[in-house]
Amino acid sequence: MLIRAGYDIAFSADQPVPMLANLSVHASRNKDLRTAQRIFTRPDVPVYDYIDGFGNICTRLIIPAGGITISCGFVIEDPYEPDPVVPEARALPVEELPDDVVRFLIPSRYCETDLLTPYAWGLFGHLAPGWGMAAAIVEWTHNHIRFDYQMARPTKTAWDVYHERVGVCRDYAHLAITLCRCMNIPARYCTGYIGDMDLKNPEGDMDFSAWFEAYLDGQWYVLDARHNIPRRGRILMARGRDAADAALTTTFGPVGLARFQVYTDEDLVGI
């Protein structure tokens, strides 16, 4: 399937403010792009990209006094297959994990395994390590968290979500990631596009989405505690230990969000 996706986001600022943005499709999906992916700014300002340690394309720019609009649009080819379900996938013992995977067991900014480990073992310690345990963590998180945009805040951690039982997709992801790590299943945070083409009932205004990946049987598998069903058409933008590594935008000064529009649709017209 060809998917047309993009965004138009405006920021206000009273003075120049440096920005770091993860607003490009992840480098691992570059081969699937069927049109050029270029970030435009109004007014036109210098931008440059670099690749960070997670393979994310990071864009640096300076928001001028008065604000800026950042936009991008592209067409990408996607197999549009549901997320794989692999019940036989096993969890590797910690001593067998690759060196670059072990970091996804360690506590991070939004994932306090040191606080949640006793709770996780009480909930899931009776389960065999592997896909079944990871799926049980996803289902528990899905069933115990109420989705509410009004309850989002940038400082909310997995510990907060566990106790408040309300949040948005990134909160579902942070809690499930933390519970997986507590049970020695490496897990990493992902953010990107996912449209509503595979849903019978659209969920509201289009937005970026967050999910996570768990490392089982030597590879990474997509899991989604927000929806708790295999989804189609994910377009990865950034991944990391948590949202601190994969924030869509990080600003180094005061800014306001003036407009936020995201779209993800099947490209029925063709390139």
Q: Which domains does the chain have, with CATH numbers?
A: 2-80+248-266 (2.60.40.2250), 94-232 (3.10.620.30)
Give the integer Cα–Cα distance in Å for 138 and 135: 5
Write out residues in the chain with pLDDT < 50, as ranges. Answer: none
Bridge partners, residue 9, by sequence: 70, 260
- What does pTM read for this prediction? 0.95
* DSSP 8-state secondary structure symbol assigned to residue 193: E
Residue 259 contacts residue 8 (beta carbons within 8 Å)? yes
DSSP lists the bridge partners of residue 49 as 59
- Please give the Cα distance from 251 to 249 (Å, whole number): 6
Give the DSSP H/E element, type plus range, for residue 136: helix 131-144
Looking at residue 267, what is its pLDDT?
A: 80
Side chain identity at residue 150, one-letter code = Q
- Alpha carbon distance 137, 25 (integer Å): 28
| Angle, CA 17 vertex, CA 16 and CA 22 arms, to 5° | 140
* 3-class secondary structure, 19: strand
The whole-number pLDDT of residue 205 equals: 74
Instruction: Return the DSSP state at 151.
Output: G
Distance CA 22, CA 3 (A): 20
Buried b / exposed e over 82-121, threshold 16 CB at 10 Å, is eeeeeeebebbeeeebeeebeebbebbebbbbeebbeebe
In angstroms, rounded to a whole number, what is the distance separating the alpha carbons of residues 195 and 5? 9
Question: Measured between alpha carbons, how far is 32 from 161 in angstroms, rounded to an integer?
Answer: 35
126: exposed, middle or buried (C-beta count within 10 Å: 0-12, 13-18, 19+)?
exposed
What pLDDT does 271 receive? 56
Q: What is the pLDDT of residue 200?
A: 80
The pLDDT assigned to 204 comes to 66
Three-class SS of residue 63? Answer: strand
Tens-place pLDDT, residues 214-231:
999 999 999 999 999 999
How do 57-63 and 17-21 pair as beta strands? antiparallel
Residue 74, token pair as written in the block: 């592209």
At residue 206, the pLDDT reads 82
Q: Taking the mean position of all CA atoms in its chain, how far away is CA 238?
A: 7
Nearest of 119, 231, 139 to residue 182 by alpha carbon = 119
